[in-house]
């Protein structure tokens, strides 16, 4: 061996040194990883191997006031395919069974290619029972194909309630961004109506099952035999104030029209019926909505999505006269002995305002009965513009009622300031005459009118209108009521008695709605016509019954038909009858929809 500066002995030492330092380095590294940083790595290993599986709780259902289920959960079968185990040569057969075009399965599998091949892909929701039994029979020849039961919304009471109930849908990316503390992509969320407003009650609390997974995220088994699992908590069932029978009548009566019908218990503020027409089929929104149906709804000139009950802001017409009568009586501007001689029209501030007829000498009661315009033209000047505005606002106009679902319009009550801004300090006072009969810039919504009608019926006291009475406890199904704000106008009962007499005569005297007089039920009401510069006038009717102990207040709007008495009042009558006379209801129902139950069964099968 060459004995130069590197002696053999020193070469051995160098090799020895290299080996020992390599071991020292690796040993230190192992010490660092396995002892110093052990906890971090342990957590990472646990994250790797334990997968929490979310359990979606059952969504709360809706009961009506008679404890009939109106919105339920129904199981629907969803066909799934696990791509890793699936043989695409089965496509043809399965597509035939689930009644889809060739290429349907490939298209969906392609869309889901970004996910693990071991995660089942939802191929079709709500497959029919025939397909399910076929899958069951042939399961051993269908590797990677299975079905799961998923819950979707059902509407067993035969009422639509589209705008009131609302619908659930898969959470949108925008909403997800806002609520990422609870929701995950693919979760369902209440998107409109009660489903949206009471989402936090309805959704329940997600549970988690912990399972062991391998590196491909396949489930191997339960973690600690399920000892750490968190069960899901079912969503709260809601009890609504709705009476399904009244609701059904309201919906049927509005069929083919544009309008709204809303009923309320004047003593509690509970909404008894809530219908906006045209409406849409919530069944179409039960899980996935077809694009065709959505396009149809969006492009419909009658705007089915538009909730007319809360958002149609239109002039109240003559229904406003009650408020004005109360204001004048309350301020002491007039008494029942105050009369006006109606000659079919009168000039105010240089402008002539006409009436439908010459009513002769009328006091406040008969002015209401006959809806005498001249009387109320004069009355608003007696009340005064600022006071008129104050009273209108006291009755809840010009602001949202605070109904427990979203998207309400405030309507509009013009003020002195408003006209001064528009026309200058010397604004034409003739405008007031129009306001006196509920026309012009003033606009109200049906929900405001039903609150207004309730206040009149119940002598100035009611509660904020609301759809939901409370929720049921999960354990013993006890009703936990929500509390709502009491509204008390602080106006003497005697004043209400005067205007109510007028409203009684509207129906039971020789008034504008004498056509809806009922021999059993004493209905009081007031017609209204909202002038429409773009077409036929809109018909209003507000009413309550029974006269001496009001249990139901109603506001009905029918758009573009003309007079309130002809179109809106009969609908109100049917709703009142439905509520107050359950027996009589059945006959009416037969008359309206003799094949109603059969129709529903037919529909359920077709879906």
- Rounded CA-CA distance 137/515 in Å is 63
- Is there binding between residue 205 and another protein (CB under 8 A)? no
Selected from 15, 74, 596, 604, the binder of another protein by CB under 8 A is 15
Of the ranges 150-158, 215-223, 451-459, 556-564, which one interacts with another protein (CB under 8 A)? 215-223
Instruction: Report how far residue 347's alpha carbon sits from residue 355's, in angstroms, rounded to the nearest whole number.
Output: 11
Contact 462, 455 (CB under 8 A): yes
Q: Which stretch binds another protein (CB under 8 A): 45-53, 190-198, 339-347, 457-465?
A: 45-53
Per DSSP bridges, beta strands 168-170 and 188-190 are antiparallel
Q: Which of 67, 220, 422, 480 binds another protein (CB under 8 A)?
A: 220
Helix (H) or strand (E) holding 461: strand 461-463
Size of the site for another protein (CB under 8 A): 42
Q: Which is nearer to another protein, 215 or 299 (CB)?
A: 215
Picking from 266, 248, 196, 275, the residue whose alpha carbon sits closest to that of residue 446 is 275
30 binds another protein (CB under 8 A): yes
Instruction: State yes or no: residue 6 binds another protein (CB under 8 A).
Output: yes
Nearest approach, Cβ of residue 58 and another protein (Å): 32
Within 13 A of 111's CA, how many CA atoms are on the CB side?
A: 8
DSSP 234: P
Under the binding rule (CB under 8 A), the answer on residue 27 touching another protein is yes
Q: Which stretch binds another protein (CB under 8 A): 8-16, 97-105, 139-147, 194-202?
A: 8-16
- Count Cβ atoms below 10 Å from residue 232 Cβ, excluding itself: 17
**Segment 525 to 584, residues that bind another protein, using CB under 8 A:** none
Residue choice 89, 101, 215, 299 for contact with another protein (CB under 8 A): 215
Min dist. Cβ of residue 29 to another protein (A)? 5
Return the number of the residue (25 or 422) whose C-beta is nearest another protein.
Answer: 25
In this structure, what token pair is assigned to residue 162? 């589209």
Pairing mode, if any, of strands 50-55 and 207-213? antiparallel
For the record, the structure tokens of 67 come out as 């404890």
Query: Residue 452 phi/psi, 5° resolution?
Result: -60, -45
Given the rule CB under 8 A, which of 36-44, 163-171, 320-328, 379-387 is the region that contacts another protein?
A: 36-44
User: 104: exposed, middle or buried (C-beta count within 10 Å: 0-12, 13-18, 19+)?
Assistant: middle
Residue 392 interacts with another protein (CB under 8 A): yes or no: no
14 vs 596, beta carbon nearer another protein: 14
Q: How far is the CB of 221 from another protein (least distance, A)?
A: 10
Task: Please say whether the beta carbons of 264 and 270 come within 8 A.
Answer: yes
Residue from 70, 71, 168, 213 touching another protein (CB under 8 A): that is: 213
| CB 144 to another protein: min, Å | 17
| Dist. CA 501–CA 517, nearest whole Å | 15
Give the span between the Cα atoms of 597 and 245, in whole angstroms.
14
Work out which of 31, 115, 298, 352 binds another protein, going by CB under 8 A.
31
Tokens of 530: 């909202």
Residue 23 in the binding site for another protein (CB under 8 A): yes
Contact 280, 305 (CB under 8 A): yes
Using CB under 8 A as the criterion, which residues of the chain lie in contact with another protein when the complex forms? 1-6, 8-9, 11-12, 14-16, 19-20, 22-23, 25-27, 29-31, 33-35, 37-38, 40-42, 44-46, 48-49, 212-216, 220
């Amino acid at each position: 061996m060459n004995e130069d500066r590197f002696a053999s002995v020193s070469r051995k030492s160098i090799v020895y040194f290299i080996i020992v330092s390599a071991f020292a380095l690796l040993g230190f590294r192992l010490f660092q990883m396995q002892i110093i940083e052990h906890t971090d790595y342990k957590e990472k290993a646990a994250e790797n191997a334990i997968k929490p599986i979310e359990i979606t709780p059952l969504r709360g259902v809706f009961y009506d006031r008679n404890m009939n289920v109106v919105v339920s959960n129904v199981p629907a079968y969803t066909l799934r395919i696990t791509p890793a185990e699936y043989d695409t040569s089965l496509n043809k057969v399965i597509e035939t069974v689930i009644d889809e075009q060739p290429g349907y399965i490939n298209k969906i599998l392609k869309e889901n290619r970004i996910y693990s091949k071991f995660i089942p892909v939802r191929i079709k929701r709500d497959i029919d029972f025939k397909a399910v039994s076929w899958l069951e029979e042939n399961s051993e020849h269908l590797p990677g194909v299975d079905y799961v039961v998923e819950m979707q919304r059902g509407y067993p009471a035969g009422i639509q309630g589209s705008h009131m109930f609302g619908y659930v849908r898969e959470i949108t990316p925008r909403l997800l961004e806002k609520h990422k503390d609870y929701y995950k992509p693919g979760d369902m969320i209440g998107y409109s109506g009660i489903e949206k407003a009471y989402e936090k009650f309805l959704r329940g609390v997600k549970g988690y099952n912990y399972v062991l997974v391998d590196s491909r995220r396949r489930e191997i088994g339960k973690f600690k035999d399920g000892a750490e699992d968190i069960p899901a908590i079912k969503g709260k069932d809601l009890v609504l104030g709705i009476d399904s029978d009244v609701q059904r009548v309201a919906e049927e009566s509005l069929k083919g029209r544009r309008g709204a019908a809303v009923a309320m218990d004047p003593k509690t503020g509970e909404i008894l019926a809530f219908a906006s027409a045209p409406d849409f089929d919530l069944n179409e929104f039960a899980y996935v909505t077809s694009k065709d149906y959505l396009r149809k709804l969006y492009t419909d000139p009658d705007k089915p999505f538009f909730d007319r009950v809360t958002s149609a802001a239109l002039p109240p017409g003559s229904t406003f006269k009650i408020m004005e009568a109360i204001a004048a009586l309350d301020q002491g501007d007039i008494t029942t002995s105050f009369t006006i001689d109606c000659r079919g029209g009168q000039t105010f501030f240089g402008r002539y305002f006409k009436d439908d007829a010459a009513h002769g000498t009328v006091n406040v009661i008969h002015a209401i009965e006959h809806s005498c315009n001249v009387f109320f033209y004069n009355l608003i000047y007696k009340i005064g513009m600022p006071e008129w505005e104050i009273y209108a606002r006291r009755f809840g106009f010009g602001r949202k009622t605070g109904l427990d679902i979203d998207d309400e319009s405030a309507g509009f009550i013009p003020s002195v300031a408003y006209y001064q801004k528009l026309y200058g300090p010397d604004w034409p006072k003739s405008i007031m005459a129009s306001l006196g009969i509920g026309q012009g810039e003033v606009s109200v919504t049906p929900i405001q009118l039903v609150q207004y009608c309730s206040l009149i019926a119940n002598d100035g006291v009611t509660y904020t209108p609301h759809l939901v009475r409370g929720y049921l406890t999960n354990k013993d199904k006890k009703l936990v009521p929500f509390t709502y704000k009491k509204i008390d106008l602080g106006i003497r009962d005697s004043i209400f008695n005067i205007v109510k007499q007028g409203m009684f005569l509207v129906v039971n005297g020789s008034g504008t709605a004498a056509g809806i007089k009922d021999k059993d039920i004493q209905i009081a009401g007031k017609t209204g016509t909202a002038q429409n510069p773009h077409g036929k006038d809109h018909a209003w009717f507000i009413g309550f019954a029974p006269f001496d102990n009001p249990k139901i207040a109603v506001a009905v709007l029918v758009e573009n038909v003309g007079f309130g008495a002809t179109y809106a009042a009969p609908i109100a009558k049917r709703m009142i009858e439905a509520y107050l006379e359950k027996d009589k209801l059945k006959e009416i129902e037969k008359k309206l929809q003799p094949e109603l139950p059969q129709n529903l069964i037919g529909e359920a099968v077709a879906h």
